Structure 1
Amino acid sequence: MSVSYTEINEILSRWAANDPPIEDFTVENVLSTLNISNDRYEDVLRFLMNKEGFELVPLKMLLCPENHKGKTFHLNDPINEEEIYDCWCGEEDYYNPDNVVLVFNFTDDFKSDALKKKMNIRRPMKVG
């Protein structure tokens, strides 16, 4: 199955316009939502990474051993183990480099633009 970048852009706009916006989503979330095969992971990853700073903010997220979402760090920043707090499930000091996942959030500008676009679509056009 080919990748429809238009569909990816549409889903990103919908997610950014949610109240609250979808955050900490993964390439797998995009693939699953659009029913795209996992063998297109690299293509979608490159597409999303090209939006860095304009629409998306790539982050690395720590997962506790129970796979609960933890603290996020900017992609190029080192993980400061002193900033890691215990997970709500009771796991303590759970940093493990193997439990880091790439996630994306939206830039403030993109969220604002997506919300404006959503509001304009809902608002009926005035005639005359």
Structure 2
Amino acid sequence: MFICVKLMVAIGVNQLSDILGTKKFWEMRMGTVHPSYRRKGLLPELTKRSTVLAKQRGIEKLVACQTYNKALVEPSKMDGFEVIRHIELKNYLDPVTGHKVFSGMKPPNDVQVLIAKTLT
């Protein structure tokens, strides 16, 4: 978990309002589906419902961090989300140890991406 937090900091999660150009954003975190329930449209449905709720509350952007290269490989399947930043995990240096702790990561989980969707 600690390394996940450091990755999110490295990609810019602590400066989201500056990166996104607004303070009116919602973060979608840890969107995972148990393997037994995958391919049933659960995560897209959660994203749709989050979009509706966010719009009702005057939120301007939805933002998420994910370790998955589909955002870079198949942007047409991103439902309006755009890649704002990305880090190739093989190049990530842990700031404490100085080691490349993710050097063995293989596609599709070899990239950390920050994605955002404009709602207005």
TM-score (structure 1 length as normaliser) = 0.29
Larger strand share, 1 or 2: 2
